[in-house]
Structure 1
Amino acid sequence: MDNIDRDLMRLLAENARAPVATLARKLGLARSTVQARIDRLEARGVIAGYALRLGDAAEAELIRATVLLSLEPRATAAVLARLKALPAVERAHTASGRFDMVLSVAAGSTAALDDTLDRIGEIDGVRGSESLIHLSTRIDRRSR
């Protein structure tokens, strides 16, 4: 991946729906060259897909939490399979330290969040959990 690919990915991160002609103009390249680069990045797995990114209005309506999980030994695969079935679980990371997994959870209401936390706690292989409810965002460096 070279600097042009990085610039292209930055532009796509800002607006994945930007027309290839617009991207080409911003990069100073031919449209066919930009399309070929996008195709190559997709084929190599550098670009895994394109997704909906919620705006501030939709994000403000969500209640977010970080959930720290302690797992039984060798239970990670089974726990992940069950977590994938819970739509409120946005991300799951394995971790080192006191906890084995860190989850990012988002729900539309406190009742929905409570239900999700209950479901997580009931998963076979989850030894224990700690939930941290997000109150306000002070820094957000995600591309918007």
Structure 2
Amino acid sequence: MTETDDTDRLLIAELSQNARLPVAKLAARLGLARTTVQARLERLERSGVIAGYTVRLSDQAQRQSIKATVLVQIRPAALPGVLTHLKRMPAVEAVHTTSGRFDLCCLLRTNNTLELDSALDQIGEIDGVILLESLIHLSTRIDRTV
């Protein structure tokens, strides 16, 4: 990965708010030439600093879904097989390895509680899963990811 400077971080912050901004608009906001911004974007993409561009759901769309954190304890050496199953589940948005009593922290998003219940059942049935605990997100009080 490449080093980033203050200008790169400002560029990334602008893209974090709206990844569809045209290069010319980004350049104007940053006070740089369009070619400079384009070159920086290409360098950040090539070096892996920018891994891709994504869709961010509106607050209204997010309120219409159920989000949960699922803590999962697995048997030793079961991680590859468990991850293979979790990758195939559309409800699973992210999986993090953790320290402590649980081995994985899974972030899930479903349309309703029935889908969440089904996803939890599927996780519990994966070979190698010993225990899981789910935490349904009720409201977001702080979100620095946007």
Please indicate the TM-score interval, normalised by the length of the shorter structure.
over 0.9
Letter in 2 for 1:33: T
Matched, 1:118 2:115: no
The alpha carbon displacement at 1:77 in A equals: 1.1
Matched, 1:45 2:29: no
Q: 1:64 aligns with which of 51, 67, 70?
A: 67
Q: Secondary structure, in 3 states, of the residue corresponding to 1:130? A: strand
Q: Secondary structure, in 3 states, of the residue corresponding to 1:54? A: coil
Matches of 1:66 and 1:46, distance apart in 2: 27
Aligned ranges 1:55-134 → 2 under 5 Å: 55-134=58-137
How many pairs were matched up?
143
Q: CA RMSD in A?
A: 0.8
Structure 2 unaligned residues grouped into runs of 5+:
none
Could you state the TM-score of these two structures normalised by the residue count of structure 1? 0.97
Could you state the TM-score of these two structures normalised by the residue count of structure 2? 0.95
Aligned ranges 1:2-41 → 2 under 5 Å: 2-41=5-44
Q: Secondary structure, in 3 states, of the residue corresponding to 2:118? A: helix
Structure 1 unaligned residues grouped into runs of 5+:
none
Q: Percent same amino acid among aligned pairs?
A: 57
Matches of 1:30 and 1:126, distance apart in 2: 53
Q: Structure 1 runs of 4+ off > 6 angstroms?
A: none
